[in-house]
Amino acid sequence: MELAPQQLMKFANDEGLGKRTWAIAEGYIPKDDRRKDRSMISHETACILNTSDHQAQIEIMIFFSDREPAGPFRVTVEPRRTFHLRFNDLRDPEPVPRDTDYSSVIESDVPIVVQHTRLDTRNAEHALMTTIPFAA
């Protein structure tokens, strides 16, 4: 029998681990459609960890250099789950434009932990970068 994490870990409580507001100032999805393998297509990811026992209702706003922000994009992350959200996959209310500088703000109704990663496969070889974003 698999135990829920709150029975195993010292941090565990109903509240969950993390912060409710995160900001990723970097954002850029290369215009790169040559790759067919989803794992190797250039992408920007916000990895979202919800250690709490509640579903996380999340709203994302995308900020641009030359127009008003877009959003809110809405995603949910189930209790005790991680969701590696690709900005490439956002469609509603609009797709994230390629080859365009942006930033994002991620807000959740329960504490979450976010990490930002980019895979860039514009060249034959790929490049990676990651960071913890700003948490408020």
The residues that touch a second copy, with contacts defined as CB under 8 A, are 2, 4-5, 8-11, 17-21, 23-28, 30, 39-40, 45, 47-49, 51, 59, 61, 63-66, 68-72, 80-84, 99, 101-103, 105, 107, 113-118, 120, 122-136
- Report, in Å, the least distance between residue 74 CB and a second copy: 11
- Report, in Å, the least distance between residue 91 CB and a second copy: 17
Contact 60, 49 (CB under 8 A): no
In the bound state with a second copy, the residue whose beta carbon lies nearer, of 67 and 91, is 67
Q: Is 82 exposed, middle or buried (0-12, 13-18, 19+ CB in 10 A)?
A: middle
Task: Name the token pair of 22.
Answer: 């995160």
Radius of gyration of the chain (CA): 16
